Homo-oligomer: A and B are copies of this chain.
């Protein structure tokens, strides 16, 4: 009555063969599967709209396991956010901007950023969802903060080189610039649906997307080029 009745042995047990290695591997695999499924679900529906049931189902595991590994929905969301930021900053770190001329470095950064957003639409929705919650989860994460120090430094270095050799205007704040570079792509893609609806243009067609990429390059380049009169 008040005590839960003992569970009868289930009949659909999966008799996975394999040694301790298999178990171990499955543990990692389960965690990864949950994280991947959660990323997809949170991206598609936001934190509030995602369903734990659906995440577990599409990860191929039991809901209880999800809670065993991640604690609760919000902690899982934070885990997803951390993995997501680690991914973009990790990819970004391979750009080797130092090896390029300032203009070429900036062009590559702009292209990378745009392309990353295009190829990882989940990044945008996840970050939007986190902003709806005023970054409540991210604020608690030291890991994510640490990821961003090198980014700012690298951009600052490019700007300095560019200013020194006369390719760029001087006095540009690397954080402001990075936010602008991100803005021009992120907003376009994040708001493509409403913008497309109100301006009656399919902003996500390949042609329009390519046009936008060029436009962003032009805006950034146009802004950075030094004043004609100086």
Binding stretch for chain B, among A8-16, A18-26, A93-101, A193-201: A193-201
Is A83 interfacial (CB-CB < 8 Å)? no
Once the chains bind, are A144 and B218 in contact (CB under 8 Å)?
no
Q: In the complex, what's the smallest C-beta–C-beta distance from A181 to chain B, in angstroms?
A: 10
**Which residue from chain B places its CB closest to the CB of A228 in the assembled complex?**
B228
Once the chains bind, are A211 and B176 in contact (CB under 8 Å)?
yes
Q: Known: A176-B212, A176-B215, A187-B186. Contact between A131 and B193, CB under 8 A?
A: yes
Binding stretch for chain B, among A28-36, A42-50, A55-63: A42-50
Once the chains bind, are B222 and A224 in contact (CB under 8 Å)?
yes
Q: Known: A199-B152, A222-B222. Contact between A194 and B127, CB under 8 A?
A: yes
Once the chains bind, are A196 and B45 in contact (CB under 8 Å)?
no
Q: Which of A169-184 contact B (CB under 8 A)?
A: 169, 173, 175-176, 179-180, 182-184
Is A103 interfacial (CB-CB < 8 Å)? no
Instruction: Report how many copies the assembly holds.
Output: 4
Once the chains bind, are A138 and B198 in contact (CB under 8 Å)?
yes
Contacts of A219 in B (CB 8 A): 180, 219, 223
**Which residue from chain B places its CB closest to the CB of A81 in the assembled complex?**
B194
C-alpha gap A185/B47 in the complex (Å): 25
Chain A, interface size: which category?
Answer: 35 or more
Once the chains bind, are A3 and B73 in contact (CB under 8 Å)?
yes
Q: In the complex, what's the smallest C-beta–C-beta distance from A69 to chain B, in angstroms?
A: 15
Residue-wise interface mask of A (64-97) relative to B, using a CB-CB cutoff of 8 A (1 in contact, 0 not): 0000000011100000000001000000000000
A contacts, CB < 8 Å to B: 1-3, 6, 44-50, 72-74, 85, 125, 127-135, 138-139, 141, 144-145, 147-148, 152, 169, 173, 175-176, 179-180, 182-184, 186-188, 190-201, 211-212, 215-216, 218-219, 222-225, 227-229
Q: A129-B132, A134-B193, A148-B199 are in contact. List 10 more A-B contacts (CB 8 A).
A: A1-B44, A1-B133, A46-B46, A48-B48, A130-B194, A135-B193, A145-B197, A173-B211, A180-B184, A182-B187
What 5 A-B pairs come out closest when comparing CB atoms?
A: A2-B49, A228-B228, A135-B193, A222-B223, A183-B187
